[in-house]
Amino acid sequence: MCKTSLHPFLKALPKCEQHLHLEGSLSPELLFRLAALNNVALPTSDPAFESPASLLARYERFTSLDDFLHYYFIGNSVLLTANDFESLAYEYFTRAHGDGVVHAEVFFDPQGHTTRGIAYAIVVEGFTRAQARAEKDFGITSKLILCFLRHLPVMDADNIFKEADALGHFSNGTVVGIGLDSSEAGFPPELFRDIYATAATKNIRRTAHAGEEGDASYISRSIDLCGVQRIDHGIRLADNPLLMKRVAEEKILVTMCPISNVKLRCVNELKDLPIRTFLDNGVRFSINSDDPAYFGGYIQDNYCAVQEAFGLSVVEWGGIAKAAIEGSWCEDARKMTMLKSIEEYLTKFEAQA
Ligand code: ES4
Ligand code: ZN
């Protein structure tokens, strides 16, 4: 909750979330519960794993993306069955609904599970069950985006891509697109260019984490060499004005995660993010939570933090909300419905103001 005058407006604003790692919504409580249920031993050498409270305290002190990823991959180890994946995703959707999310395009990391002997199909079964329940219970629509872990061999990513494709997951809509995540520096996007080229020929949507810890060239290389249609994080875009102009002109959506960037020390404070620069230069972006259980902020917290740092206007928030919908990877009819509800919400709010 923020203390700005726009808090009530931001709270009830219908939201789209486009940068959320389902594995990043594993709370310490659920982590410990599943570890007990599944007889998974947590590291005894790290005092952070003494209790959910001590783990949460450790999450307050991430020093970098890699420091976070160390805990994130240990978190994965408690997820074994389709039911576990369903619980994880359903908890996220429940929380997101409480924050006014009406549509979510969520990442998952198959290799974080297949490398532990959990079948790709088990992971997707759990997630799709949660998606169906969330749509029925809350009216939330959602899409899955399959991410490749860039620190693992390209061959592993290629195998997962082929498996998902062979199961018909791209053609039947179970998975809407592909992404690239994990350690950025030293793992440039073009390592995966062949997979991205194949995905383009099959009309599979494409995004990549770029310009989070890596420099602006990771963004241009994602666009030029991998043909991405979105950029995840993209905070280094402001370092290259020509590239920024191009991203604005081509309406490439940047999925920003403000609290994440502060927690992983990509910036010192929220005010250092190029949000004002993006608005002034017509760069389309959405505001998202990334790994909310690890960074201590769900989507509403991120909206509030941005408002406290930048004091945006209702018109600017309306523009952000509409850009997020227009940059979504859902059906046109769903986009129209969401755009209409934003228009109605803005009109109602202006009438009250
Ligand atoms: C991630 Cl914040 C972030 N960056 C890169 N990869 C990730 N996987 C999960 N969260
Ligand atoms: Zn991310």
Ligand 1 atom 3: the closest Cα is on which residue? Answer: 182
**Whole-angstrom distance, CA of residue 69 vs CA of residue 292:** 14
Over residues 182-206, the mean pLDDT reads: 98
- For the stretch 61-94, pLDDT in tens is 999 999 999 999 999 999 999 999 999 999 999 9
| Residue type present at position 278 | F
- For the stretch 11-28, pLDDT in tens is 999 999 999 999 999 999
pLDDT of residue 350: 79
Over residues 332-342, the mean pLDDT reads: 98
- For the stretch 226-264, pLDDT in tens is 999 999 999 999 999 999 999 999 999 999 999 999 999
3-state secondary structure of 244: helix
pLDDT of residue 352: 78
Is 2's pLDDT higher than 90?
no
pLDDT of residue 334: 98
Architecture of domain 7-352: Alpha-Beta Barrel (3.20)
- Nearest ligand by distance to the CA of 69: 1
Mutate to test the pocket of ligand 1, among 69, 236, 264 (most ligand atoms within 8 A of CB): 69
- CA neighbours closer than 13 Å in the CB half-sphere of residue 159: 12
| Residue type present at position 88 | L
* Two structure tokens written together for 321: 């909300």
Ligand 1 atom 5: the closest Cα is on which residue? Answer: 182
**Whole-angstrom distance, CA of residue 178 vs CA of residue 195:** 9
**Whole-angstrom distance, CA of residue 273 vs CA of residue 20:** 19
What percent of the chain shows pLDDT beyond 70? 100
What is the secondary structure of 136-182 as a DSSP string?
HHH--EEEEEEEEETTS-HHHHHHHHHHHHHTTTTTTSSS-EEEEES
Name residues whose C-beta falls within 8 Å of residue 19's C-beta, 6 or more positions apart in sequence. 107, 232, 233, 255, 256, 257, 286, 288, 289, 290
Q: Give the single-character DSSP code of 208.
A: E
Q: Give the single-character DSSP code of 202.
A: T
- For the stretch 283-306, pLDDT in tens is 999 999 999 999 999 999 999 999
Ligand 2 centre distance from Cα of residue 338 (Å): 24
- For the stretch 37-46, pLDDT in tens is 999 999 999 9
pLDDT of residue 152: 98
- Nearest ligand by distance to the CA of 291: 1
Pocket-forming residues, ligand 1, beta carbon under 6 Å: 21, 24, 65, 72, 181-182, 209, 212, 260, 290-291
pLDDT of residue 286: 98
What percent of the chain shows pLDDT beyond 90? 97
Positive or negative, the CA dihedral 306, 309, 311, 316 is negative
- For the stretch 119-133, pLDDT in tens is 999 999 999 999 999
Is 351's pLDDT higher than 90?
no
Over residues 160-174, the mean pLDDT reads: 98
| Residue type present at position 104 | A
Mutate to test the pocket of ligand 1, among 291, 294, 295, 302 (most ligand atoms within 8 A of CB): 291
Ligand 1 atom 6: the closest Cα is on which residue? Answer: 182
Ligand 2 centre distance from Cα of residue 261 (Å): 10
Ligand 1 centre distance from Cα of residue 349 (Å): 35
Strand-strand pairing, 230-233 and 285-287: unpaired
Is 353's pLDDT higher than 80?
no
**Alpha helices, H only, the chain:** 7-12, 28-37, 52-59, 65-76, 82-98, 111-114, 120-138, 154-166, 193-201, 216-226, 241-249, 258-263, 275-280, 292-295, 299-310, 314-326, 332-352
**Whole-angstrom distance, CA of residue 274 vs CA of residue 202:** 34
pLDDT of residue 330: 97
Ligand 1 centre distance from Cα of residue 237 (Å): 18
Mean pLDDT of the chain: 97
Over residues 167-177, the mean pLDDT reads: 98
Ligand 2 centre distance from Cα of residue 219 (Å): 14
pLDDT-based confidence at residue 349 (cuts at 50, 70, 90): confident
- Nearest ligand by distance to the CA of 24: 1
pLDDT of residue 338: 98
Q: Which range, of 2-6, 216-220, 338-342, averages the lowest pLDDT?
A: 2-6
Mutate to test the pocket of ligand 1, among 181, 261, 265 (most ligand atoms within 8 A of CB): 181
pLDDT of residue 3: 85
User: Could you state, in order of their start, the residue ranges of all structural domains in the chain?
Assistant: 7-352
**Atom number of ligand 1 nearest to Cα 260:** 2
Query: 126-159 burial string, b = 16+ CB within 10 Å, else e?
Result: bbbbbbebbeeebebbbbbbbbbbbebeeeebee
pLDDT of residue 1: 76
pLDDT of residue 7: 95
Positive or negative, the CA dihedral 253, 229, 159, 213 is negative
- Nearest ligand by distance to the CA of 259: 1
pLDDT of residue 218: 98
**Residues belonging to the active site:** 212
Name residues whose C-beta falls within 8 Å of residue 323's C-beta, 6 or more positions apart in sequence. 253, 284, 285, 286
**Atom number of ligand 1 nearest to Cα 182:** 6
3-state secondary structure of 248: helix
**Whole-angstrom distance, CA of residue 170 vs CA of residue 252:** 22
Ligand 2 centre distance from Cα of residue 288 (Å): 9
